[in-house]
């Protein structure tokens, strides 16, 4: 199959060093990964690919595009050959179809353990003794954490209400939930009512060893999809009154509008391949990151792995990644606050050296991901075991208890 790079380069680095045989032990002898939509190559898709490699498992997906599928993983579409495959073009009809069709998927019952990645296939109803693990990249945004920002129209509020009403009682089947950050773990507990003891946190894998500091250049960098949720407009506007250079990487629907409003000290370079991205992350003075309530955020981690400070918005998981004054500074999502953060960085720099910032990034390594996922699956399999009461031992226990009471 041919591979096609997504313009959303915030996903997991698929060059994460392979660990052949890690999932081929008898412990993981019957396991599969089930992904939702595979219509791009973003962070969730790359996590699913890495899970399949880790456990030497087949990867099932709902609707998908063959051009984005990995060449080294066995993949099977659940719905592409369906007469209703045209539904994948519309988000609403596609989601409704998943809610109906994903409940019964006989192909997935063949495996002792199933790892769900993304939310579309979480309608699947497992058999009694099948172990189910759900890797949560995010709870649905509009019905939950972004409801107050997005639900202005009655139609959106109705959709969110129906989503909350239908989703929760029909998808709470996993033996273990694995969240990609502590923030998402909090959402799983708050919005879905999952007990904390059933939730693990395993960060998405980043090949941190492939990034390194370089000779510093005299510019700031921001890199993401150019869409409203990333709020690149505020970063661009912040440079209207700064004697500093900004490089904007990434593609998206807002590019023309952003370029039209940008001052002369802002340069747009479009999509960057891995080589250019690593070079720029290693040489920039600091990375600017302003995404709305980010679940995790790969680009800040890649900047840290390059020994580069991050000036990030004090929202979502970003505010936990950035240690104010040590590996960067936090700001509000406004041009004024971003400008103040840059000026403070220019005056004070940060306390940590490039080497210390690199070391901080190790917690997000591919090795840590593999170890965390192996442990999570083992715990799920242990929790899913049916524990049968030993009737004879119970009878003897009660007999001894009664005798003891009789001697009192």
Q: Are residues 224 and 304 in the same domain?
A: yes
User: Helix, strand or coil for residue 127?
Assistant: coil
CATH number of the domain at 219, please: 3.40.50.2000
Q: Are residues 194 and 263 in the same domain?
A: no
Strands (E), 8-73: 31-35, 59-61
Q: What is the pLDDT of residue 388?
A: 81
Q: Are residues 221 and 275 in the same domain?
A: yes
Q: Are residues 237 and 100 in the same domain?
A: no
Cα dist from 200 to 80, 167, 178, 186, 196, whole Å = 32, 21, 5, 11, 8
Query: Is the Cβ–Cβ distance between 208 and 364 less than 8 Å?
Result: yes
Q: What is the pLDDT of residue 369?
A: 96
- CA 57 from centre of chain: 20
The answer to whether position 21 is within a domain reads: no
The answer to whether position 358 is within a domain reads: yes
Q: Which residues span the domain enclosing 180?
A: 26-137+172-205+367-383
Q: Are residues 86 and 234 in the same domain?
A: no
Q: Are residues 189 and 235 in the same domain?
A: no
The answer to whether position 281 is within a domain reads: yes
Q: What is the pLDDT of residue 42?
A: 82
Q: Are residues 271 and 191 in the same domain?
A: no
In total, how many domains does the chain have? 2
Strands (E), 271-355: 287-289, 310-313, 328-331
The answer to whether position 1 is within a domain reads: no
Q: Are residues 213 and 312 in the same domain?
A: yes
Q: Are residues 115 and 250 in the same domain?
A: no
The answer to whether position 311 is within a domain reads: yes
Strands (E), 231-293: 246-249, 266-270, 287-289
**Per the confidence metrics, is the pTM higher than 0.85?**
no
Q: Are residues 216 and 176 in the same domain?
A: no
Q: Are residues 231 and 190 in the same domain?
A: no
Q: Are residues 286 and 376 in the same domain?
A: no
The answer to whether position 232 is within a domain reads: yes
The answer to whether position 49 is within a domain reads: yes
The answer to whether position 2 is within a domain reads: no
Per-residue pLDDT of the chain (408 residues; tens, 9 = 90+): 333 333 344 444 444 444 444 444 456 779 999 999 898 888 899 899 999 999 999 999 999 889 999 999 999 999 988 777 776 677 778 888 888 999 999 999 999 999 999 999 999 999 999 999 999 999 988 888 889 888 899 999 998 998 888 887 788 899 999 999 999 999 999 999 999 999 999 999 999 999 999 999 999 999 999 999 999 999 999 999 899 999 999 999 999 999 999 999 999 999 999 999 999 999 999 999 999 999 999 999 999 999 999 999 999 999 999 999 999 999 999 999 999 999 999 999 999 999 999 999 999 999 999 999 999 999 999 988 888 876 666 666 667 666 666 555
């Amino acid at each position: 199959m041919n591979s096609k790079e997504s313009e959303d380069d915030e996903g997991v680095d698929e060059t994460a060093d392979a660990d052949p045989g890690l999932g081929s032990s008898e412990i993981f002898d019957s396991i599969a990964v089930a992904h939702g939509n595979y219509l791009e190559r973003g962070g969730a898709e790359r996590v699913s690919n890495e899970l399949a490699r880790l456990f030497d498992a087949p990867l099932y997906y709902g609707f998908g595009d063959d051009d984005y599928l990995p060449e080294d993983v066995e993949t099977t579409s659940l719905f592409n050959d369906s007469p209703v495959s045209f539904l994948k073009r519309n988000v609403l009809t596609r989601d409704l179809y998943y809610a109906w069709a994903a409940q019964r998927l006989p192909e997935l019952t063949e495996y002792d353990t199933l790892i769900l990645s993304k939310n579309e296939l979480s309608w699947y109803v497992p058999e009694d003794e099948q172990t189910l693990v759900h890797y949560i990249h995010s709870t649905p945004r509009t019905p939950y954490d972004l409801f107050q920002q997005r639900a202005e129209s009655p139609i959106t509020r109705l959709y969110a209400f129906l989503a909350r009403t239908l989703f929760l009682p029909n998808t709470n089947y996993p033996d273990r939930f694995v969240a990609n950050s502590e923030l998402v773990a909090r959402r799983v507990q708050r919005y879905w009512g999952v007990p904390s003891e059933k939730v693990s946190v395993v960060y998405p894998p980043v090949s941190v060893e492939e990034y390194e500091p370089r000779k510093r250049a005299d510019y700031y960098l921001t890199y993401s999809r150019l869409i409203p949720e990333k709020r690149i407009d505020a970063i661009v506007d912040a440079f209207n009154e700064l004697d500093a250079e900004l490089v904007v990487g990434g593609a998206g629907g807002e590019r023309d509008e952003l370029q039209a409003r940008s001052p002369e000290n802002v340069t747009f370079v479009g999509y960057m391949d891995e080589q250019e991205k690593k070079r720029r992350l290693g040489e920039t003075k600091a990375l600017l990151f302003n995404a709305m309530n980010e679940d995790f955020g790969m680009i800040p981690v890649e900047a840290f792995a390059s020994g580069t400070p991050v000036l990030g918005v004090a929202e979502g998981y970003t505010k936990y990644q950035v240690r104010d004054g040590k590996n960067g500074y936090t700001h509000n999502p406004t041009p004024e606050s971003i400008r103040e953060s840059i000026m403070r960085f220019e005056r004070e720099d940060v306390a940590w050296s490039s080497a210390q910032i690199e070391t901080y990034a190790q917690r997000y390594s591919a090795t840590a991901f593999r170890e965390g996922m192996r442990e999570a699956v083992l715990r799920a399999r242990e929790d899913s075991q049916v524990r049968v009461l030993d009737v004879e031992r119970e009878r003897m226990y009660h007999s001894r208890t009664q005798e003891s009471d009789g001697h009192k």
